Amino acid sequence: MTADIHIRKKGRVGRITLTRPKALNALSYEMAMAIEAALEDWRTDDDVALILIDAEGDKAFCAGGDIQQLYDTGRAGDYDYGRRFWADEYRLNAKIAGYPKPYIAFMQGFVMGGGVGISCHGSHRITCESTQIAMPECGIGLVPDVGGSLILARAPGRLGEYLGTTGTRMGPDDAIYAGFADTYVPQLMWPTLIAKLSETGDPSLITDHAQTPPPGPLRALTPQITQHFSGETLRDILNALRAEDSDFARDTVKSLSRNSPLSMACTIEMIHRLRGPAADIGRALGLEYRFTYRAMEQGDFLEGIRAAIIDKDRKPHWKHGLDSLPGSAVAQMLQPLGKDALTLEEAKT
């Protein structure tokens, strides 16, 4: 068991608490595997009526995956560590999405990247005043992953393309509207609600505590977003935005110009492929894995991490310019992996 996570049974509930508040509860490989082991134990445990995941500290439920080790191994030319990390993490995301018991996430502060993967696929996703959910991966040369591409594809209008490429943060109302959360419960009420859930194992009690969140900006922006983000490609979207003289268009182009063009173009293509009734969590994770499998060797991931987290100069040198991305680059990153394709079964060691 890792010191960064506290796993126990309390009353009728299997409790998982992330305990790395100083690191914004960033999800390490060991933490992800500990969560998976607990879920397997509790799957057939009749004493456990539901799963409850929360985190210590006010700033973040989980601000993402623990990237340092991915960076160090990738820089050393070892791509296998990252590929195993992503494959195992995605298996956990799929298990949460298909879990047979209620899975309740209490999401305060930042919920990003890997944090989305262990909360937003649950059956009951609770926000509060401080919740800020985002998929900012394009800023570090990745794509929205951990199954987040599927949630984006199911968002209203063209919100998925907008949220996925800009990494815009969603407060509670926006997160509920976009399909990343279900309920708003003020944080002061959380201890009482958690105590009642532990005692009864009855998730319907959440409804008694739910309130209407303060309105966020996304609902009103949806017509503009849909108008500009309906294009087939990143270039189409940029052309639509540049053709309009408005604060929204200018601010959005500014956001897009910071992120990896390759990542954004692939994000748009992935969301388009996942839009429709045939898409499920397995298909989304498989598509994401095609990108992350190649992200260090062929993508912008290592440079994105260097600029954002290692050197913190915020001046990434992306492989392609915003207006000079060849169409073939997206196809290369998303082509099938053959024998290396993601399988959601556990590797037999």
Q: What CATH number does residue 181 fall under?
A: 3.90.226.10
Q: Which residues of the chain have pLDDT under 70?
A: 1, 346-349
Both 43 and 121 in one domain: the answer is yes
Both 45 and 91 in one domain: the answer is yes
Spatial distance between the Cα atoms of 173 and 217, rounded to a whole number of angstroms: 9
Pick the catalytic residue: 14, 74, 114, 164? 114
What is the pLDDT, as a whole number, of residue 204? 97
What is the pLDDT, as a whole number, of residue 346? 62
Both 194 and 61 in one domain: the answer is yes
DSSP three-state, residue 10: strand
Both 211 and 330 in one domain: the answer is no
What is the pLDDT, as a whole number, of residue 227? 96
Spatial distance between the Cα atoms of 157 and 178, rounded to a whole number of angstroms: 10
Pick the catalytic residue: 14, 64, 65, 141? 65
Spatial distance between the Cα atoms of 51 and 259, rounded to a whole number of angstroms: 36
Both 123 and 147 in one domain: the answer is no
First-to-last C-alpha distance (Å) of the chain: 19
What is the pLDDT, as a whole number, of residue 349? 37
Both 142 and 261 in one domain: the answer is yes
Listed residues 215, 250, 277: the one ending a domain:
215
**Identity at 97, one-letter amino acid code:** A
Both 143 and 183 in one domain: the answer is no
What is the pLDDT, as a whole number, of residue 345? 74
| Ramachandran sector of residue 71 (left: φ over 0; alpha: ψ -120 to 50; beta: rest) | alpha
What is the pLDDT, as a whole number, of residue 140? 96
What is the pLDDT, as a whole number, of residue 348? 43
Spatial distance between the Cα atoms of 184 and 3, rounded to a whole number of angstroms: 30
Spatial distance between the Cα atoms of 5 and 276, rounded to a whole number of angstroms: 37
Residue 185 in contact with residue 120, Cβ under 8 Å? Answer: no
Both 149 and 276 in one domain: the answer is yes
Measured CA distances, 308 to 59, 62, 162, 230, 311 (Å): 19, 18, 21, 30, 7
Listed residues 150, 182, 215: the one ending a domain:
215
Residue 57 in contact with residue 102, Cβ under 8 Å? Answer: no
The per-residue pLDDT of the chain, averaged, comes to: 96
Both 1 and 32 in one domain: the answer is yes
Domain interval for residue 53: 1-134+172-215
Both 303 and 253 in one domain: the answer is yes
Q: Is 201 a catalytic residue?
A: no
Q: Is 137 a catalytic residue?
A: yes
Spatial distance between the Cα atoms of 98 and 284, rounded to a whole number of angstroms: 14
Residue 268 in contact with residue 234, Cβ under 8 Å? Answer: yes
Residue 133 CB partners (closer than 8 Å, separation 6+): 107, 111, 112, 116, 120, 127, 169, 170, 174, 175, 180, 181
Both 204 and 73 in one domain: the answer is yes
Pick the catalytic residue: 36, 89, 137, 300? 137
Spatial distance between the Cα atoms of 90 and 21, rounded to a whole number of angstroms: 23
Residue 116 CB partners (closer than 8 Å, separation 6+): 133, 135, 146, 147, 148, 151, 180
Both 250 and 195 in one domain: the answer is no
Kindly state the percentage of the chain with pLDDT values over 90: 94
Q: Is 57 a catalytic residue?
A: no
Pick the catalytic residue: 36, 66, 145, 182? 145
Partners of residue 105 on adjacent β-strands: 53, 125
Place of tokens 């990434």: 316
What is the pLDDT, as a whole number, of residue 1? 55
Number of domains in the chain: 2
Residue 142 in contact with residue 263, Cβ under 8 Å? Answer: yes
